[in-house]
Amino acid sequence: MADIKLAFLIQRPPYKSENPKLGLTHAISYQTVEILLEDGETVTPTVCVVGEGVLGCVKDQKAMELYGITSTEMHVKSCLLVDLDVLVCKEDLARFGISEDMMPDAEDMGADKTIQVVPYAEIQKVIENANHVLFF
Amino acid sequence: MAVLTIGIFSSLVGSMTPDFMFKLSEAALEKGHKVNIWVSGNAVSLIKNHQKHLKDYSTGEKPLAALIQKGVEVCTCEACTLARGIQKPDAVEGVQWNAMHWYLAKVHGSDRVLHMGGE
């Protein structure tokens, strides 16, 4: 199979665990995976943010200022910069009271992509169409 | 023969997930399958050498070395490992060091992927 579709399911909050950031950086690494693959082989990741994971999709995080570490927000922006599809569950955003204007974009970094707020049914389709699902 | 790639993210001490991973890998090998193991996050404690096996704690060094001897490819996330103060001379012999794309590449060539998330 030449192209392998991976669904990265980000479901943990952006605190207490490094999982969300690990998930995002693993997805971003698709940019360099070709050096380890044969010609014509590709990996296509899709980032799906669900559950408490949506808490990491709030802009103006102060992780660098307060803890000296890169924020989950910055990782989300990096995903957009490298043209990853980032799908965020609409129902979970509503559950946590997060509106779309509270979410970051990566326009300042020159990204063309933006976060896509979608119903869970659409994320379910991505999961069903993926060759492998990776839970973070 | 199938190819199984395992991504392990749970810490060695405080979680039984790595213990399960060792047993599963051993079972897969016995059935003739190829096994790859990607070690990331807090799981990088698995690859530290000179672990003292106190009976109250799980140990990763011996089972990991045994799996490598049997042909299992084990790779640790270099950034995760160095961030925890484990240097290359501190690692079990035969452990590879690479970036996250190693995992994605192994996933690409696998029949099954078992991703064992962290805490």
First to last CA, chain B: 32
Residue of A nearest to B119 (CA): A17
- Cβ(B50)–Cβ(B58) under 8 Å? no
Give the CATH number of the domain where residue A18 resides.
Answer: 3.40.1260.10
* pLDDT value at residue A22: 96
Q: Distance (Å) from the C-alpha of residue B15 to the closest C-alpha of chain A?
A: 15
Does B9 sit within 8 Å of A22, measured CB to CB?
A: yes
- Domain containing A61 equals 3-135
* Kind and range of the H or E run holding A58: none
Using one digit for the tens of pLDDT, what is the confidence trace for A52-65? 999 999 999 999 99
**Cβ neighbours of residue A111 closer than 8 Å, sequence gap 6 or more:** A77, A80, A81, A83, A105
B32 burial type by CB count under 10 A (0-12 exposed, 13-18 middle, 19+ buried): exposed
How many Å apart are CA A8 and CA A5, to the nearest integer?
10
Does B100 sit within 8 Å of A26, measured CB to CB?
A: yes
State chain B's maximal CA–CA distance in angstroms.
Answer: 38
Using one digit for the tens of pLDDT, what is the confidence trace for B80-95? 999 999 999 999 999 9
Q: What is the ipTM of this complex?
A: 0.86
Give the CATH number of the domain where residue B110 resides.
Answer: 3.40.1260.10
Q: What domain count does chain B have?
A: 1
Kindly give the confidence (pLDDT) of every residue in chain A, 136 residues in length, as a single tens digit, with 9 standing for 90 and above: 699 999 999 999 998 889 999 999 999 999 999 999 999 999 999 999 999 999 999 999 999 999 999 999 999 999 999 999 999 999 999 999 999 999 999 999 999 999 999 999 999 999 999 999 999 9
Does A17 sit within 8 Å of B100, measured CB to CB?
A: no
Q: What domain count does chain A have?
A: 1
